[in-house]
Amino acid sequence: MNPRTVTLAALLTLALDASLEAARSQLISRPVPTEDLVERGRAAFTVSCGFCHGIDARGGEGGPDLVRSEMMLNDEGGDLLGPFLQVGRPDLGMPPFQLSDSEVADLAGFVRAQSQAVINRRLYVIQNVVTGDADRGRAYFNGEGGCGGCHDPAGDLAGVASRFDPPGLLNRFLYPGRGRGGARPLSREATVTPAGGAPVSGTLEYLDDFNVAIRDANGNYRSFSRDAAAVDVDDPYAAHVDLLGRYTDDDIHDLITYLVTLE
Ligand code: HEC
Ligand code: HEC
């Protein structure tokens, strides 16, 4: 694998952080608190909460990160924070606070602004992934990359960009079968030819240096010793594994920029 691919993969892992996804879906199209409100909230937060939760609400001396807190991401104008603050969780080190509704709204607005800032920074990283040239990407797809031999932009990949966001899509084409998102890897087909026997084909169930096992079309599990059988495995991801070692960074950026047009 080339080192640049590794860097990009590391970046992706960052961008794909589940909490970001959650946060994005939570915050998209929510009202943005005004600057005044955020500033009042910041002042109050620094005095009352910053010691434990950190002055930026990202977690501190004994208090958790509030920027990713489910409660805060679901809060609207203090509607969840208010009732929570009245009781706190004294047994766990979170004292109760008696505050007015507007003080609570200021605090909630400040935390919201912090969450938004974190998400925007992350989104910036994501958008940076889509900086290639779509035409070059299309050319690579149909030419050098050989993608067109297996995929059809108007067939299996039609609408692929609406199924995954850019980092998700990038992850899928770099590592199909290993991508996040709950997709199950495809099974591998294999043909085993025992010495002096007829070839048997089926779904690969097991493979190590000594043994191979397949499940044939009738559902029978059949195991063979490898020193007495030739094995031919058809790995559906082989092309993608091979591609990983061939892409340059530019190829990757051009391809993703092209793929995001397949909406
Ligand atoms: C003395 C330290 C301390 C102070 C001061 C403090 N907190 Fe906390 N806070 C905690 C601790 C510890 C927890 C975690 C309790 C737990 O484990 O459930 C917590 C939890 C929370 C949670 C729940 C997070 C979640 O997702 O469960 C919110 C919201 C919160 N604090 C907001 C505030 C706000 C707003 C202030 C200021 C008005 C504040 N806290 C002041 C220590 C503190
Ligand atoms: C030899 C065939 C082959 C080649 C060549 C190939 N792929 Fe794939 N590709 C696959 C298979 C097989 C999968 C897995 C499909 C699945 O998991 O359902 C896949 C998955 C994908 C996916 C994820 C699709 C989805 O819906 O999850 C993308 C995107 C993709 N490939 C893009 C590319 C690109 C871009 C290239 C060229 C750089 C390429 N592929 C080259 C066979 C190939």
Confidence (pLDDT) at 125: 58
Quick one: which atom of ligand 2 is closest to the CA of 185? 17
Q: Is 10 in the pocket of ligand 2 (CB under 6 A)?
A: no
pLDDT band at 85 (very low <50, low <70, confident <90, very high): very high
Quick one: which atom of ligand 1 is closest to the CA of 70? 26
pLDDT above 70 as % of the chain:
81
Q: Is residue 249 over pLDDT 90?
A: no
CA pair distance 49, 43, nearest whole angstrom: 10
Q: Which residue has tokens 């990009």?
A: 8
**Tens of pLDDT, residues 93-131:** 999 999 999 999 999 999 988 887 776 666 555 666 788
Task: Tell me the average pLDDT across 153-157.
Answer: 94
Q: Is 66 in the pocket of ligand 1 (CB under 6 A)?
A: yes
- CA of 166, nearest ligand number: 2
Residue 153's Cβ-side half-sphere holds a number of Cα atoms within 13 Å equal to 16
CA-nearest residue, atom 31 of ligand 2: 173
Q: Which residue has the higher pLDDT, 230 or 27?
A: 230
**Which residues have CB under 8 Å from 114's CB, separation 6+?**
56, 57, 58, 66, 67
Quick one: which atom of ligand 1 is closest to the CA of 93? 12
Q: Are 87 and 54 in contact (CB under 8 A)?
A: no
Mean of per-residue pLDDT scores for the chain: 82
Task: Residue 221: count other Cβ atoms within 10 Å of its Cβ.
Answer: 11
**Tens of pLDDT, residues 54-74:** 888 988 778 898 987 878 888
Q: Is 8 in the pocket of ligand 1 (CB under 6 A)?
A: no
CA-nearest residue, atom 25 of ligand 1: 69
Long-range contacts, 34-42 (Cβ 8 Å, 24+) = 34/109, 37/105, 37/106, 37/109, 37/110, 38/106, 38/109, 38/110, 38/113, 40/106, 40/110, 41/105, 41/106, 41/107, 41/108, 41/109, 41/110, 41/111, 41/113, 42/110
Q: Is 96 in the pocket of ligand 1 (CB under 6 A)?
A: no
Task: Of 82, 42, 239, 74, give the one whose Cα is nearest residue 148.
Answer: 239
pLDDT band at 259 (very low <50, low <70, confident <90, very high): very high
- CA of 86, nearest ligand number: 1
Task: Of 241, 236, 237, 210, give the one whose Cα is nearest residue 223.
Answer: 210
Q: For ligand 2, pick from 141, 234, 240, 249 the residue to mutate: most ligand atoms within 8 Å of CB.
A: 240
Q: Which residue has tokens 């067939």?
A: 155
Q: Is 42 in the pocket of ligand 2 (CB under 6 A)?
A: no
Ranking 50-64, 74-88, 143-157 by mean pLDDT, the lowest is 50-64
Confidence (pLDDT) at 12: 43
Written as six digits, the tokens of 190 are 């294999």
R_g (Cα) of the chain, nearest Å: 26
Q: Is residue 21 over pLDDT 60?
A: no
Q: Which residue has tokens 């050319």?
A: 139
pLDDT band at 13 (very low <50, low <70, confident <90, very high): very low
Confidence (pLDDT) at 120: 65
